[in-house]
Amino acid sequence: MNRPRWNLNRELYKYTESLTEGIRIRILHNFMYNLNLHFLIITKTGQFWADKFTNILKEDYYLTYRNDPNHLDRLAVKPDTQVGQFHSIKKDFHESMLTIMYYFNKNNKYESK
């Protein structure tokens, strides 16, 4: 599956499990925004897709599971949604990673101790 997915940890799953799917997705999307989460997908053919989870619309996500169908502990992009573009690792990977790191560091303030 060459689509972004986010495996929820136990605490986040327990925090949201009693909510309806639509509300859970909105809350999880806000978590991804606050955490500035990114993903990186690399295929066996030497292609990659790197982006922010929040660059995908909330409507394009659904809840699914890892092991137990009764525990919807994974947020994934719907199969019929084409939201990203894959690029060649040989040509574009280095520059893309530098750009992502630049904007991540620029937009996040860290306190030195």
Whole-number pLDDT of residue 105: 80
Whole-number pLDDT of residue 109: 67
Q: What is the DSSP letter of 53?
A: G
Record the pTM.
0.78
* Tokens describing residue 12: 């986040």
Whole-number pLDDT of residue 112: 59
Whole-number pLDDT of residue 15: 92
Close Cβ partners of 60 (under 8 Å, ≥ 6 residues apart): 77, 78, 81, 83
Per-residue pLDDT of the chain (113 residues; tens, 9 = 90+): 688 999 999 999 999 999 999 999 999 999 999 988 999 988 888 889 888 999 999 999 999 999 999 999 999 999 888 767 888 888 888 888 888 888 888 777 666 55
CA distance 10 to 16: 10
CA distance 107 to 76: 26
CA distance 57 to 41: 18
Question: Contact, 4 vs 56, CB < 8 A?
Answer: yes
Whole-number pLDDT of residue 29: 96
CA distance 47 to 105: 25
CA distance 71 to 111: 38
Whole-number pLDDT of residue 1: 62
Whole-number pLDDT of residue 81: 80
